[in-house]
Every structure is written in structure tokens, then in C-alpha cells.
Structure 1
């Protein structure tokens, strides 16, 4: 009867994804249906870890985070957890042979956010991007290739570039709240009090290169996942273009968004392009 509990766990991961991210929710819906539950499972896990370090300021975040990490290890080792999000995630880990190294690298980057006074040089920045985004892309790639290690290794650099692009766009989108509310500046050698057009353009050039490499990989994904990943790419690339069109001063004044009405239009366009092989 465990399948009932597993079903409840999967629904919790799905509910978490829908509640926290319209973009990823739309992207997952564009995947083959058999991929929905495992990708919801990965998103639910990474979202909860991120919430601990970014949101729960009135609680003991250190204790909560390390308890979450211990519970994750126990869930994977025991192949079950009474925490639905972790029960869903551990099933994905075992079904798709996701290595602990990827999970631990992700958790290490989340732990970095517990130090709210931390400054980022180039090495720390790259380490954070690797753990918070690139390895999450690799976890999803494990699901998409479903055991095809040769294809996994071929697409690995592109999957990492896509995760990197998404995270760097997030940094620009959230620069106002990260700096004003959390005191964080992820970009190395950038003073957010004097965030210049030159600073912004250098970051944007770096993101553009990530998007270019990511798109080449998307073109070679299995058909079961290509449309959904392309849709997420289109959402983020259009958000990037909107950020790129704005002066650096606006970045620290508001959180830049793509309206849901525009997302629906982009969804229809991307589905059509994918179906016509025009990616």
C-alpha cells in the first residue's frame, strides 16, 4: 500500500512547484507525462532547501538546514521518509541513479547562504553557481536520459550552462531583494551601491554565452523532454532580454517579471516551434 503514500508525496512536490514557480510549472507540463513526477520531486526538494536559507529568518535556520540535510540522507539510505517532499525525492534518486555528489554539492551551496555577511570572489561565485544551479540541471538530465550514460555525458556541459544561465538571471532579477533585504551580492567585484552599466553588460555577456551553449544541448535532448526544457529556456531568455533592455538603476528598484499573460503566449509559440522542429 506504499504506493498511496508515494502518490501523496508526489502531489506534495507538484503542489510546491505550482505554488512557487509559474515558469517551471508550465515547463514541466510540456514534458512527457511520465517525467512530471520525477521533475516535480527534484524541484520540491531544492525549493524547500532554498526556502530555509532565504525565507525563515525568524527561526533557527542553521538547525533547520542541518536537520533537513540529515533527513535527506536518512530518506535516501532508508528509501522512505515520512516527510513527503523527501520521500518523493529519494524515489527519484533511486529510480534515476542520481549520485550523492550532485546532491551534496547542491546542499553545500545552500549552506553558503546561511552566512548572510559572506562576500563572493570569483571562486566562491563559481562554486555557488555549480551547487545551486548546475548540479540541479544535471539531476534533471539524469531523468531526461533515463539511464543513457553516453547521452548524459554528451549533454552534461549544456545542462550545466542552462542551470548557470537561469541562476545568473535570477541574481539580476532578485538583486533588489537580495541586497536590500538579505545583504547579499553574488556577483564578484561588483559594488551594488554603484552598480554601473558596465557591470551589468559584463554580467549579461556571460549569461548570453551560457544561453548559447544551453540551446545546442536542448536541440539534442530526447523528444520526451525537449519541448518542456525549451519552454523553460524561452521563459528565462525573454526575462533576460527584458532585464537587458533596462538601465542598471532599475535592477535595484524592482523585481523584473514576465506577466503570466505573456508566458502563455510564449508557451504557445515554443510548443509550435518545437513541433515544427524550428528550435
Structure 2
């Protein structure tokens, strides 16, 4: 394996993380330099798959988006069995395979992730465009979010046996994912999906048709405001359950993970501050606050 080729692959992953994961990338900057490439590789892989799924209607390959995911899984399995060189023509997979091997990450977390991504592809046998209740949504998030936390855990390191830190790591991934769903209601509707549990929405008189109306008008109905307020409270409870797990991590990585957690939870506060105007524009935490939170964690390090 050429070290230069692998370095280039990791640099490609870094560029993807910098371009698309602003909060994630800022938090990664607080990690020790040797850990950063692996985190970038994990992010870049998730992004590669996510973009493929989101653009499923644009995929022109004969086997479609579902077939592309199958091919990615097959190539990754082969690389893990035969060595990273078998995917050296695909920088993200090249760097990812090296990361999995280097940090002894359980491959099952990647198969679980890909299974959830198949649930997003129209025409797939696993496809779902709505979730009846939080339990169903959590089954999706087991792969789309919890698995990401479990992939990261070996890279971050722990002060306890890894298994003890896994529940909190999975919960933090779930907390981040639910925040994305609350922020991106409008964008998800445009893709024909609703990632908010129908049972909770129905309790406040909200259905898919009302959400579609809000999207068309750009205005948030009062019933939707109440539903979002409830789900934000649910989301914050997941953050609270995940938070003690940060102290189980290697002390050197805690500032980065706390920064990511504070900033992602800050999106919920921003949604509230904007009176739940999620159909008008995307809620983001501004650059000054992101830098302020990061600086605070550096001081407390």
C-alpha cells in the first residue's frame, strides 16, 4: 500500500467533512491530530452513502441506488477481507477500510448503517417514507445514527471497557439524528419522507397533509408548533441520557464531543427562537456561537 495514496485518500475525506459538516468539522478540530483523519473518513463514508440515497432519483446506473449500496457493501466487505488496496481507486472506501482496520471497529456497525439507508430508497424492499411511532423511528435510527456513534467510539477511546460506553455513544448519535429531523422537516418532505413519529404528530392534530400545507405556504401551523415543541423536549431528554457518557471517553477527546453536543442541541434552541419556522428556512447555529463554544471547551480542557 502506498502511504502517499492513503494520505491523499484521507485528505479527500477531510475536504468532504470541511465542506458539508460544519459543526462536526469544528468539533473534530479539537481532537488530537492523529485521530482526525479517521473521524473524517467515517464522516465522508456516511456522507457518500447519504448523498447517494438523497439523489436516488438521479442515479443512472443500471442497478439504481439500491444496487449502488449493494456494490458499496460488497466492495467494503472485500476490502476488509483482502486489504484496503482492493478499493484504492475509491478514496473514501480506501481511507475507511484503513480506519476500520487500524481502530478495530466492528464491521457490523457499517452493515447496520447500510440497512437503514436502504429504508430511504423508493422501490427498495426495505423502503419506508413514514414511521408510526417513536419505536419504529428508533429502529431506523439504530442504523442511521446509533451505529455512527458506535463506529466513532473506538477512534475516540474510552476510560472504561468499550461496551460500557456504547449505550451513551448510541444515544448521542440518536440525539444528533433527531435534531436533524426536526431541523430538516421541509427538506425531507420535498424528498417524500416524514421522519417525525406519526403517533406524536397525531396527538397534536398534525398529519402529512398539514405538514405539506405548511411546506407550500412556508408557515408553521400552531398545531405543528406544539408537536415540534413536544418532540424537542423528547430530543433534549435523549441528550440528557447521552451526556454522562462523555465522561467515559478519553479525557483528550471530551472537549470535542461536548462541543458537538452543545452545538447540535443549540439547533433546537434556534428552532424555538425562530418560533418553529422550519418551513421558512433552515435553523443553524451562527459562526460566532460555534467559535465561542469551541473556545470555551478549549479553556476547560
Q: Same fold (TM over 0.5)?
A: yes
Q: For residues 33 and 129 of structure 1, what CA distance do their matches in structure 2 show?
A: 30
- Residue 137 of structure 2 is aligned to residue 109 of structure 1: no
Q: Report the counterpart of residue 73 of structure 2 in structure 1.
A: 69
Q: Report the counterpart of residue 219 of structure 2 in structure 1.
A: none
Task: Give the C-alpha shift of residue 201 in structure 1.
Answer: 2.3
Which of 205, 227, 231 is the aligned partner of 2:233?
205
- Residue 257 of structure 2 is aligned to residue 255 of structure 1: no
Which of 125, 130, 154 is the aligned partner of 2:164?
154
Q: For residues 56 and 5 of structure 1, what CA distance do their matches in structure 2 show?
A: 30
Q: TM-score w.r.t. structure 1 length?
A: 0.90
Deviates more, 1:217-226 or 1:32-41: 217-226
Q: Report the counterpart of residue 171 of structure 1 in structure 2.
A: 181
Q: For residues 153 and 63 of structure 1, what CA distance do their matches in structure 2 show?
A: 33
Task: Give the C-alpha shift of residue 252 in structure 1.
Answer: 2.2
1:207-246 aligned at under 5 Å gives the runs 207-246=235-274
Q: Report the counterpart of residue 48 of structure 1 in structure 2.
A: 48
Q: For residues 188 and 223 of structure 1, what CA distance do their matches in structure 2 show?
A: 36
Q: For residues 172 and 162 of structure 1, what CA distance do their matches in structure 2 show?
A: 16
- Residue 122 of structure 2 is aligned to residue 94 of structure 1: no
Q: For residues 114 and 260 of structure 1, what CA distance do their matches in structure 2 show?
A: 34
Q: For residues 102 and 80 of structure 2, what CA distance do their matches in structure 1 show?
A: 11
Could you tell me which runs of 5 or more consecutive residues in structure 2 were left unpaired when the two chains were aligned. Answer: 202-206, 212-222
- Conservation of the 8 A alpha-carbon contact between 1:117 and 1:183: no
Could you say which structure has the larger radius of gyration?
A: 2
Residues 203 and 45 of structure 1: CA distance in aligned 2, closer, same or farther (over 3 Å): same
Let me know the Cα RMSD of the aligned residues.
Answer: 1.8
Q: Report the counterpart of residue 79 of structure 1 in structure 2.
A: 83
Deviates more, 1:150-159 or 1:188-197: 188-197
- Conservation of the 8 A alpha-carbon contact between 1:135 and 1:160: yes
Q: Report the counterpart of residue 8 of structure 2 in structure 1.
A: 8
Q: Report the counterpart of residue 24 of structure 1 in structure 2.
A: 24
Q: TM-score w.r.t. structure 2 length?
A: 0.84
Task: Give the C-alpha shift of residue 56 in structure 1.
Answer: 4.8
Q: Report the counterpart of residue 141 of structure 1 in structure 2.
A: 153
- Conservation of the 8 A alpha-carbon contact between 1:231 and 1:271: no
Could you tell me which runs of 5 or more consecutive residues in structure 1 were left unpaired when the two chains were aligned. Answer: none
SS at match of 1:213: helix
**What number of residue pairs does the alignment pair up?**
270
Q: For residues 41 and 252 of structure 2, what CA distance do their matches in structure 1 show?
A: 17
